[in-house]
């Protein structure tokens, strides 16, 4: 019989780190389902590869660092990182690239900094950028939505592609990208980028098959639905108070504003805000990546600035940069700025005069 001499508060809210991470993972489910339905089994296979790698790597490193393995794995942060990597890489990426990316995320971007809570960069985005820079060709090999593709690989084919590079029938990834009309598919962002460099106008590009003519013209075929699924998951997270609205809200609004400004300035050269919002990783970035608490800003005002700045970089890099998408770069850039943002957005403490706040 022991009496607990503990410090108040003795009451705690029953939601620990693991639960928070699991909730985020559950909220990703709609998006993953949408990706599976639209782009095939690839994303699921990649998820399995990434998760296995992540858990093994984290377990091993934590063991070597002599920290409690079960508790560290129990917080599910490695799982979440792995899933974020899996959904952001092309579904047909060779397996070893996924493994390298995940290893890099866990070992270098996270554990080298001291593990969960100490990493200054979002591990999933570090992995993504590392892969993108190391394997630019493979990392842009997105398969077309299954509705558009000539050969829509099944589960076994996909498995075979990922592990051997060829389907059971012997097609490689390049061939899988063939569309029904004989053209090669690319992501809508790629399509726009190449279209614009070829001298096409924005509205001409929209008529390419990479775009859906359903809900919005500018919505990428299939991509729009994936984005909407992630939006749904993200709203669930906000409703569950797992994340605050500040970062996704300001990020989306800022993407919208900057894209609108450019679009209004020259509608032929610059894509519409709807295009920017529904394509690429903006939605998942806004709700799942930029909101990673460890590497995001911690004050309310800071989070608004953080989100808005990411939105700004996304539009700028997408429009003027060399890479088609920019969420990863935007997030990493702003991760670096977090200490600065936090320092300058300290809230006014109760009872302090408004200005003496930052006085040393």
The 40-69 contact track toward other proteins, x by CB under 8 A, reads ------------------------------
Q: Which of 48, 175, 299, 321 binds other proteins (CB under 8 A)?
A: 299
Under a CB-based contact definition with an 8 Å cutoff, are residues 141 and 93 in contact? yes
Q: Which of 46, 77, 111, 185 binds other proteins (CB under 8 A)?
A: 77
Q: Which of 296, 304, 310, 334 binds other proteins (CB under 8 A)?
A: 296
Taking the C-alpha atoms of residue 132 and residue 138, their distance in angstroms, rounded to an integer, is 8
Q: Which of 10, 66, 239, 265 binds other proteins (CB under 8 A)?
A: 10
Q: Which of 41, 93, 123, 300 binds other proteins (CB under 8 A)?
A: 300
Taking the C-alpha atoms of residue 288 and residue 280, their distance in angstroms, rounded to an integer, is 14
**SS3 annotation, 140-193:** CCCCCCCCCECCCCCHHHHHHHHHHCECCCCCEHHHHCEECCCCECCCHHHHHH
Piece of the chain touching other proteins by CB under 8 A; list 16-24, 44-52, 104-112, 327-335:
16-24
Give one word for 176, left, alpha or beta, with left for phi > 0 and alpha for psi -120 to 50. Answer: alpha
**Is residue 347 part of the contact set for other proteins (CB under 8 A)?**
yes
Q: And the tokens for 43?
A: 């994303």
- Residue whose CB is less far from other proteins, 12 or 355: 12
Size of the site for other proteins (CB under 8 A): 44
Cβ neighbors of 89 (< 8 A, separation 6 or more) are 46, 97, 98, 101, 128, 131, 139
3-state secondary structure of 358: helix
DSSP code for 357: G
**Is residue 9 part of the contact set for other proteins (CB under 8 A)?**
yes
Under a CB-based contact definition with an 8 Å cutoff, are residues 268 and 199 in contact? no
Q: Which of 298, 316, 321, 337 binds other proteins (CB under 8 A)?
A: 298
Q: Which of 103, 105, 116, 88 is nearest to 53 (CA)?
A: 103
Q: C-beta of 29: minimal distance to other proteins in Å?
A: 21
Q: Within 235-274, which residues bind other proteins (CB under 8 A)?
A: 244
**Is residue 325 part of the contact set for other proteins (CB under 8 A)?**
no
Taking the C-alpha atoms of residue 121 and residue 135, their distance in angstroms, rounded to an integer, is 21
Which burial class, exposed, middle or buried, applies to 357 when counting CB atoms under 10 A from its CB (0-12, 13-18, 19+)?
Answer: exposed
**Is residue 2 part of the contact set for other proteins (CB under 8 A)?**
yes
Q: Within 115-174, which residues bind other proteins (CB under 8 A)?
A: 115-118
Q: C-beta of 274: minimal distance to other proteins in Å?
A: 31
**Is residue 7 part of the contact set for other proteins (CB under 8 A)?**
yes
**Is residue 12 part of the contact set for other proteins (CB under 8 A)?**
yes
Q: Which of 199, 239, 265, 360 binds other proteins (CB under 8 A)?
A: 360
Binding site for other proteins (CB under 8 A): 1-13, 15-17, 19-20, 71, 75, 77, 115-118, 244, 293-296, 298-300, 303, 342, 346-353, 360
């Amino acid at each position: 019989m022991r009496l607990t001499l503990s410090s108040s508060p003795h009451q705690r809210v029953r939601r620990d780190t693991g639960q928070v991470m699991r909730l985020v993972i559950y909220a990703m489910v709609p998006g993953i389902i949408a990706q599976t339905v639209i782009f095939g089994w690839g994303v699921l296979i990649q998820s399995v590869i990434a998760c296995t790698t992540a858990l093994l790597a984290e377990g091993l490193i934590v063991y070597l660092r002599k920290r409690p393995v079960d508790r560290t794995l129990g917080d599910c942060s490695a799982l979440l990182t792995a899933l974020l990597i899996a959904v952001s890489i092309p579904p047909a990426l060779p397996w070893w690239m996924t493994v390298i990316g995940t290893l890099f995320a866990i070992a270098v971007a996270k554990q080298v900094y001291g593990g969960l809570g100490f990493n200054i960069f979002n591990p999933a985005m570090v992995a993504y950028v590392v892969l993108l820079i190391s394997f630019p060709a493979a990392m842009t090999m997105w398969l077309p939505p299954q509705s558009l593709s000539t050969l829509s690989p099944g589960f076994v084919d996909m498995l075979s592609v990922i592990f051997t590079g060829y389907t059971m029938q012997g097609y490689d990834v390049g061939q899988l990208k063939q569309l029904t009309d004989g053209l090669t598919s690319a992501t809508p962002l790629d399509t726009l980028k190449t279209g614009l460099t070829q001298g096409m106008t924005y509205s001409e590009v929209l008529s390419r098959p990479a775009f859906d003519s359903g809900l919005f013209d500018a919505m990428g075929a299939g991509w729009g639905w994936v984005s909407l699924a992630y939006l749904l998951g993200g709203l669930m997270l906000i409703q569950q108070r797992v994340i605050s609205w500040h970062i996704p809200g300001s990020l989306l609004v800022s993407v919208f504003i900057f894209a609108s400004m450019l679009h209004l300035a020259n509608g032929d050269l610059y894509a519409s805000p709807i295009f920017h919002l529904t394509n690429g990783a903006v939605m998942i970035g806004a709700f799942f990546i930029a909101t990673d608490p460890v590497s995001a800003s911690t004050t309310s005002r800071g989070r608004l600035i953080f989100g808005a700045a990411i939105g700004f970089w996304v539009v700028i890099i997408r429009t003027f940069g060399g890479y088609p998408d920019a969420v990863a770069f935007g997030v990493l850039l702003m991760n670096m700025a977090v200490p600065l943002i936090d320092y300058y957005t300290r809230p006014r403490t109760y009872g302090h005069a408004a200005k003496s706040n930052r006085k040393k």
